[in-house]
Structure 1
C-alpha cells in the first residue's frame, strides 16, 4: 500500500508551442496539509487541472493509492475523492445552502425532485461536522465570502472528498475569517482528508502547511518540510530574486493637507469619518469586513449619493456628487474587485488604459490614434506592464499586470488623490513588490496623496506613513511612528471582534 494518496510523476503539458509544465512531480499523503506556491504563470493552475482530470498530461504518470491511473477525467477524479474549490466557489447564488449541498448528490442518484427534509438533514450534518452554524435556508448569494467558502468545503465533504484543493482560499477574507478557516482545515486533516493549499501569501503558508512545493516557469524548483523554509527562501524560490520590502518612512512635508474629510457619513455604514492626506503621504485604513472602509472609499469617489459631510481639496469644498465630478477634481479609485468593477475584460489593454481620457484624445469625431498609442506606451513603461501587445485582452492578464493597468488608467487622468482598495489582492509576491514600489514612487516622486485600504496588515505597515483602524463605520484608532506595528494593529483588530 502506497504512503501517498496521489502522485504526479514527471508530468509535462504543452499548449501549442508553449510548455506549461516540464518534468513536474508532486506527491500528497492522506491527512496532509501541503502548500503549492508560485507566481502567476508558474504552472500551479495547470497541475491542479491535471490532477482533477480537466487536462490530460502529454507526458508522465498519475498514481492514486499506489495504482497507476490511465486517463483521468473530472468524473473519475471526483470518484477518487479529488475536489477542487476554485476562487469563485462554483456555487449557485440564487439557491439556498441546503439546495447547493444536496444538488450534486441528487444528480448522482438520478433524482428529478428535491427531497427537502433530506436536504436539510444533509446540510445540518455536514455543517456540524466542520463545526459551523449556517442557516440551511439562507440564499448562498446573500452569504459573505467566508460563508460561501464554508458551503463549498461542505459540498466537497458530502462528495466524499479525500483531497481538497483550495485555490487562493484567503484572498477575500479578514484575518479573523482566515483563523476560522484554518481551524476547519486542521479539523479536516484530523479526519484524514488531505488539503492542497494554493496561495501567494507566505505567512499563511508557513502557518498552516506541513510541506511545501514551489513552481517557477513550469518547473518544480523547491520542495520539503515547511520547517525548512522562511519568507526569504520561499520568495527566492518563487521569483529567483532576493526581494526586500523595507518599511517606507519618508519625512512628510509640512503644510496644509491636500485632502481633508470631516463628518463624512453614509447611512448605515459610515458615521462621522474624518481624515486628511498630505501630498506625498500614504495613509492606510484597516478594519474588519463591514467596518465601512469600502463605503468610505466609494463616498470619496462620488459613488454614495446619500453621503453627508465635508470634503475639501486644497482647502476648498470639493464634495463629488458623481464619479465624473470626482475624476474632474483629481480623485481616482482602484476597486478591490478589479475583474467585475474595474476592467473591461474582453477589451484590449490599450482601451482599458485610455477609457478614462477619451475626450482628451479626440480629433474631431474620431480618436487620435497616434495620441492613443503614445499614452498607452507611456503607461506600459511607467507601470511595467508585461503583455504581448497593447491589443491583448485585459482578461488574459495576471493579477499583477491587471492591477498595473488599473493604476495606469487613473494616472492618465492626472489624479492627485489615489484611493486603493486591496491594492495587491490576488497578486503574486514578485508583482506585489513591484506594485508597492510603484505606489511609493507615485507618492514621493509625483506627490500623490494615497489612501490604501487593505486586509493585509504587513502591507499597511510596510507602505504607510499613518494607519487608521475602522470599526462599525467609525475611526477608532490612529497609529503612526513606533506604534505602527503588526502586533499593535492585530491586537486592536482582535478587540473589535
Structure 2
C-alpha cells in the first residue's frame, strides 16, 4: 500500500483522536541492558491494537509499564485520557481500567472455575461473607460474553490448557475495563475458540474498550488489528495501519531480515525395521486403534483439534498415560511402557507443551535444569556430584544448542521463551534419546526463535533420531516433517505426505471434520 500525503495525514489524525493511553520517551534499563529505548506508543479508545516483536524485544517490559508493575525511567511520560500520570502503580492501573492476561494465566488451580472468574468480586468492598449466588451469576455472565460453557464447580487444575485460558479471559471481563491487554491469549485454543475470542475483541471495541493484542500468530494479527506496533531490540520500529502489512513485512520489521523456510526433505530408509511401531494401541477415553510406524531419521507431525487425543498418545508413549490395549514395538521387539522410568530405559524423551509448568524449574539455575535428567551420570567415584563433570555437560549443551544465557547460575525465568525451550530440549537430548516427542515445541515463541528450534530438531533427525512433533500450527508440521498425521476423536484419520501437500489441504480436511 502506498500512502499519499492526504491519506497519511488522515491516518495520523485518526491516531490522535480519542486517545486512551499516550506514552512518550519510555525507557527502561536493567543492569546495564536497555530493555526499552525512548519508545513512543499510543492506544485509542475502543481500538484493537497489536504489539509484535521477537522474544526479548521489549514487549513484556512495555506491558509491565502500562500495567504499573514496573516503573520506567524518570524521563518517561504517560498520559491517560490526556491527563499526565505521575506514578502508575498496579493499583492505579486497575483504577484506570487496565487489565492484563499474562501467558502464565495467574489462576488458582485449587479453586473452582466459578471462584477464579469471580475472584475480584469476592474481595471488593468490605464484605464479610461470600455470596455464592452472585459468584455464580458473575461467572455465567462472563462466560456468556464469549459464548462458552465451562463446569463452574470444576477445579481449574482439572481443566485443559485451553479451558484454563478461557477462565483467565472471563475473569478479566468481569471488571470495568477500558484497556484489556492479552498476551498470547490464543496459544492453547482451537480454531473455533479463537474465532469466539476474536468476536469478543470486536464486541469490546463496540463498547469503547481498547484491546492490546500480543501474538506470534501473524494470521490472527492481520484478522483483528487496526494498527500494528513493531518493537525490536527495545526500539519502536514503527506503528502501521494493518492494511499496510502482510506476513513477510511483519517478519522483516520484527527481525530485520527475511526469514526463509526450508522444508525437511530427507527421506528415511523405510526398508529397515521401524524404530517404533504401534499396533492397535488404545486407551479408554483417550485414543483408539492407533497404528503407527516411526523410522530412524524420520520426523512425523501429528495435528488436529485440541481434544483429538494427540497429547494423550504422547503421554502414553512416555509412560505417563499407559495404554490398555495393543502392542508397542521398538526395533521390532515388543516392550511394555507403563512408567517414565521404562520409557527412559527405551531412550524415549518427551518435551511437554507447557514448558513453564512442566518443562523447567523456573527458580532453579539454567545449569541445574539441563543436568537434572542425567544426575546419575554426574557422579564421581565416591558417588557424589562432580562439579567439573556438571560444568562440562552444561557448557556442551549450551554451546551445542546456542542457548543465550548470562550465566549457567542464572535462573531459567530470566531467559526468553525461545531460550527456555532450548533448555528443555537440552535436558532431554542429554539423555541420549532415540525417540524424541515434542508437544507444541514452539508455542508462544517468536518467528526467529521458532526457525532456530526447527533447525535443531532437523539436525537431530539427521543424526538418526526418530522424532514426533505435535502441533496446532499446520505450517510447523508441514514444513518440518516427512509426514503429517491428523487425529480426530482419538483416532488417526488421515496421513499426508508433506512433499505433495499444502497448508490448505490439511486445514480444509480438519475443518471438514469439525461438527
Q: Does 1:68 align with 2:84?
A: yes
* Paired residues of 1:2 and 1:65 also in contact (CA < 8 A): no
Residue 215 of structure 1 is matched in structure 2 by 231
Residue number in structure 2 paired with 1:180: 196
Deviation of 1:143 after TM superposition, in Å, equals 4.0
Q: Distance in 2 between matches of 1:321 and 1:385?
A: 33
Are residue 100 (structure 1) and residue 100 (structure 2) matched? no
Q: Which residue in 2 is equivalent to 1:244? A: 260
Please, which of 353, 360, 368 is the counterpart of residue 370 of structure 2? Answer: 353
Name the residue aligned to 1:224: 240
Paired residue secondary structure (1:53): coil
- Structure 1 residue 392 displacement after superposition: 2.1
Q: Distance in 2 between matches of 1:56 and 1:347?
A: 26
Q: Does 1:324 align with 2:310?
A: no
Partner of 2:132: 116
- Bigger mean CA deviation after superposition, 241-250 or 271-280: 241-250
1:351 Cα deviation (Å)? Answer: 2.2
Moved more, 422-431 or 201-210: 201-210
**Separation in 2, partners of 1:416, 1:356:** 15
Per-residue Cα deviation, 1:222-269 (whole angstroms, up to 9, x for no partner): 221112122222122222222111322233334222211111112221
Q: Do structure 1's residue 284 and structure 2's residue 293 form an aligned pair?
A: no
How has the CA–CA distance of structure 1 residues 361 and 80 changed in structure 2, closer, same or farther, with 3 Å as cutoff? closer
Task: Show the counterpart of 2:432.
Answer: 414
In structure 2, the residue matched to 1:253 is 269
Match of 1:31 in 2: 46
Q: Is the 8 A contact 1:166 1:198 kept in 2?
A: yes
1:4-47 C-alpha deviation (Å, 9 max, x unpaired):
11111111122343322111111011111111111122111111
Whether the 8 Å CA contact 1:2–1:66 is kept in 2: the answer is: no
Instruction: Check conservation: 2:484, 2:498, Cα contact below 8 A.
Output: no
Contact 1:297 1:419 in 2 (8 A): yes
Count of matched residue positions in the alignment of Structure 1 and Structure 2: 496
- Partners of 1:398 and 1:269 lie apart in 2 by 33
**Residue 48 of structure 1, aligned match among 63, 73, 93:** 63
* 1:33-75 CA-partner distances (Å, limit 9, x unpaired): 1111111221111111111122222122111111212212222
Correspondence for 1:15: 30
What is the alpha-carbon distance in structure 2 between the residues aligned to residue 415 and residue 98 of structure 1? 43
Structure 1 53/277 Cα, relative in aligned 2: closer, same or farther at 3 Å?
same
Whole-angstrom CA distance in 1 between matches of 2:148 and 2:289: 35
Label 1:251 to 1:339 Cα distance change in 2 as closer, same or farther (>3 A): same
Gap change, CA 1:473 and 1:213, over 3 Å in 2: same
* Deviation at residue 97 of structure 1 after TM alignment: 4.1
Task: Tell me the CA shift for residue 450 of structure 1.
Answer: 0.5
Q: What TM-score do the two structures reach when normalised by structure 2? A: 0.91
1:402 aligned onto 2:420:
yes
The answer (yes or no) to whether the contact 2:421–2:441 under 8 Å persists in 1 is yes
Q: 1:438: Cα distance to partner?
A: 0.9
Relative to the length of structure 1, the TM-score reads: 0.94
Alignment correspondent of 2:220: 204
> Structure 1 residues 107, 210: CA separation in 2 closer, same or farther (over 3 Å shift)?
same
Match of 2:291 among 274, 297, 300: 274
Partner of 1:89: 105
For the aligned residue pairs, the C-alpha RMSD in angstroms reads: 2.1
